């Protein structure tokens, strides 16, 4: 084996977990390779997930805002229409530009990029094949960062045309007339909004009694009501039991407590969660242990049961989020060189980028109560915020959850325009062990939407200044 096939670390998978881990390994002086089978680095997030969906959400939000609110702003738009192919072209351009940026970044940081599919062939050994040729490589540490893929329901198999998942749902060449979304989680809501704003009749079928189970019921309900006002319809506590596909259309049988109904659509987007990518990695052959959901078992230093084989990101336990995977990657690299990398899994923020955005961090009131913690809560409606009124962003609310005894901030939920940015200050307060009182006494610029966070904290102590 030549020197250029021997590394300190080989990271398999160049999503946000893998490429960030490889950069950190290189920064720490390790001879590092990053293996990717796709032609563009960036994984699901960059190619078919976070980035393209946010590009589409932004374009369609502009369209929807002009369509529904321009006249209120005194802006007259006649013959407003969209050009779907231009919208998709912009999205593809964003993805392409960022993909090139990631490749340039990892190369500049001293990471060797290897093209092909990697498979473990023994402890510290792997084979990389690009379909034409293959080579054998060795490394003291191999890090599996192979990500996740959409879960398929056995009775709703994907055909890529009528029954589709999120990879397809970011690239339709026509606006569906009727789209059924199965699953009211992040993907279902985001792509449901994209196509609804472009004119599709979107109906969301959700198994649970409310959308977004990570939120308290009052917050989730307020978010759903806003989305309903925008034109989405929801069938809650409903399950899909079967489907018939014929002539470019699907007929689903839905079941709820009152019986079964049929509904037809030209597209059915299934968004019921994601599962780990572990096929053809040689895991079984070398004996890497997986849990009942196929995720790779690791200890607190990302180490699997096979010495020198570690795993991070969506392929292990925890929220399947790009920023969590990045933090795993940094901590894993630092642990390899004996540093004390750390990830605070209690404070991973989650965001759904609909309008208004839905963001949360820490415990909901319900989750805190389930843990036996006595809490105080404070809420603030966006409609009472001056900046929200001035900018037409009055939909939504903020909810703060604090420990009733110590006043420590335990959680925050925000439904508001720009909630993805607002949640960062809640995370920072909580990371430093802040109390609701600390947030209540932090000066927020006026007029800003962020004042709503301070007001919610004040209201947890019955001192809200701008709410009734």
Shortest gap between Cβ of 80 and ligand NAI (angstroms)?
28
Query: Residue 427: CA atoms inside 13 Å, Cβ hemisphere, count?
Result: 17
Residues 426 and 402: their CA atoms lie apart, in Å, by 12
The structure tokens listed for 260 are 């079964």
SS3 35: strand
**Which of residues 309 and 321 has its CB atom nearest to ligand NAI in the complex?**
321
| C-alpha distances in Å from residue 261, one per residue of 183, 184, 257, 440 | 17, 19, 11, 50
Q: What is the DSSP letter of 116?
A: S
β-pairing, 309-311 vs 134-144, is: parallel
Name the residue among 189, 230, 214 with its Cα closest to residue 399: 214
Shortest gap between Cβ of 144 and ligand NAI (angstroms)?
18
The reply to whether 273 sits near ligand NAI by the rule CB under 6 A is yes
The reply to whether 52 sits near ligand NAI by the rule CB under 6 A is no
Dihedral Cα 193, 199, 205, 209, nearest 10 deg: 50
The reply to whether 175 sits near ligand NAI by the rule CB under 6 A is no
The span of 69-77, 246-254, 313-321, 328-336 binding ligand NAI (CB under 6 A) equals 313-321
Residues 124 and 115: their CA atoms lie apart, in Å, by 19
Helix (H) or strand (E) holding 195: helix 186-197
Could you please report the per-residue DSSP string of 142-157? Answer: EEE---EEE---TTS-
The span of 288-296, 326-334, 347-355, 374-382 binding ligand NAI (CB under 6 A) equals 347-355
The reply to whether 188 sits near ligand NAI by the rule CB under 6 A is yes
SS3 182: strand
The span of 89-97, 259-267, 330-338, 344-352 binding ligand NAI (CB under 6 A) equals 344-352
Residues 177 and 64: their CA atoms lie apart, in Å, by 17
Shortest gap between Cβ of 71 and ligand NAI (angstroms)?
31
Active-site residue, 446 included: yes
Site for ligand NAI (CB under 6 A): which residue of 52, 124, 185, 313? 185
Site string for ligand NAI, 137-156 (x = CB under 6 A): ----------------x---
The reply to whether 235 sits near ligand NAI by the rule CB under 6 A is no
The reply to whether 187 sits near ligand NAI by the rule CB under 6 A is yes
The structure tokens listed for 347 are 């404070």
Whether residue 184 is preceded by a cis peptide bond, meaning omega within 30 degrees of 0, is no
Taking every pair of Cα atoms in the chain, the longest distance, rounded to a whole number of angstroms, is 73
> Which residues does residue 34 pair with via DSSP β-bridges, in sequence order?
11, 113
**Which of residues 150 and 378 has its CB atom nearest to ligand NAI in the complex?**
150
Site string for ligand NAI, 57-96 (x = CB under 6 A): ----------------------------------------
Residue among 73, 342, 446, 466 flagged as catalytic: 446
C-beta separation of 151 from 273 below 8 A: yes
Q: Output the residue with the shortest Cβ distance to ligand NAI.
A: 185
Q: What is the DSSP letter of 435?
A: B
The reply to whether 328 sits near ligand NAI by the rule CB under 6 A is no
The reply to whether 182 sits near ligand NAI by the rule CB under 6 A is yes
Shortest gap between Cβ of 260 and ligand NAI (angstroms)?
14
The reply to whether 341 sits near ligand NAI by the rule CB under 6 A is no
**Which of residues 141 and 190 has its CB atom nearest to ligand NAI in the complex?**
190
Shortest gap between Cβ of 128 and ligand NAI (angstroms)?
28
Could you please report the per-residue DSSP string of 250-295? Answer: EEEEEEETTEEEEEEESEEEE-S-EEE--TTSSHHHHT--B-TTSP
The span of 117-125, 180-188, 375-383, 444-452 binding ligand NAI (CB under 6 A) equals 180-188
The span of 138-146, 167-175, 203-211, 298-306 binding ligand NAI (CB under 6 A) equals 203-211
Site string for ligand NAI, 377-406 (x = CB under 6 A): ------------------------------
Active site residues: 446
Q: Which residues bind ligand NAI (CB under 6 A)?
A: 153, 182-188, 190, 205-208, 239-240, 271-274, 319-321, 350-353
């Amino acid at each position: 084996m030549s020197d250029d096939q021997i590394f300190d670390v080989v990271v398999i998978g160049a999503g946000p977990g893998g490429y960030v881990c490889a950069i950190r390994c290189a920064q720490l002086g390790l001879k590092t390779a990053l293996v990717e089978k796709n032609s563009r680095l960036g994984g699901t997030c960059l190619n078919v997930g976070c980035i393209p969906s946010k590009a589409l959400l932004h374009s369609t939000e502009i369209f929807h805002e002009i369509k529904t609110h321009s006249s209120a702003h005194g802006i007259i738009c006649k013959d407003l229409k969209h050009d779907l192919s231009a919208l998709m072209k912009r999205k593809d351009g964003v993805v392409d530009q960022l993909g090139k940026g990631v490749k340039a970044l990892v190369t500049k940081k001293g990471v060797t990029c290897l093209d092909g599919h990697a498979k473990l062939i023994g402890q510290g050994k792997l084979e990389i094949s690009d379909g034409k040729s293959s080579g054998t490589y060795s490394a003291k540490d191999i890090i599996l960062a192979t990500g996740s893929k959409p879960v398929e329901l056995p009775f709703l198999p994907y055909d890529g045309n009528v029954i589709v998942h999120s990879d397809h749902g970011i690239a339709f060449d026509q606006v569906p007339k009727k789209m059924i979304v199965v699953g009211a989680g992040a993907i279902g809501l985001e792509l449901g909004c994209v196509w609804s704003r472009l004119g599709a009749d979107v109906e969301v079928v959700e198994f649970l009694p409310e959308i977004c189970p990570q939120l308290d019921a009052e917050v989730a309900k307020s978010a759903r009501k806003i989305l309903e006002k925008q034109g989405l319809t929801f069938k809650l506590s409903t399950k899909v039991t079967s489907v018939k596909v014929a002539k470019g259309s699907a007929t689903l049988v839905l079941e709820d407590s009152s019986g079964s109904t049929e509904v037809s659509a030209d597209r059915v987007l299934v968004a019921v969660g994601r599962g780990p990518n572990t096929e053809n990695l040689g895991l079984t052959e070398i004996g890497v242990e997986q849990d009942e959901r196929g995720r790779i078992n690791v200890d607190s230093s990302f180490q699997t049961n096979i010495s020198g084989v570690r795993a991070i990101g969506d392929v292990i336990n925890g929220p399947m989020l790009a920023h969590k995977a990045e933090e795993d990657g940094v901590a894993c690299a630092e642990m390899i060189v004996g540093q004390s990398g750390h990830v605070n899994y209690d404070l991973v923020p989650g965001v759904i980028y609909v309008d208004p955005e839905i963001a949360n961090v820490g415990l909901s009131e319900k989750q805190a109560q389930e843990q036996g913690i006595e809490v105080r809560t404070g809420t603030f409606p966006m409609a009472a915020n001056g900046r929200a009124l001035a900018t037409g962003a009055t939909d939504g609310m903020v909810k703060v959850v604090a420990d009733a005894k110590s006043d420590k901030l335990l959680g925050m939920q925000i439904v508001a325009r720009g909630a993805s940015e607002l949640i960062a200050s809640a995370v920072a307060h909580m990371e430093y062990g802040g109390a609701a009182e600390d947030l209540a006494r932090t000066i927020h610029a006026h007029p800003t939407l962020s004042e709503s966070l301070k007001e919610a904290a004040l209201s947890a102590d019955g001192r809200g200044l701008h709410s009734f």
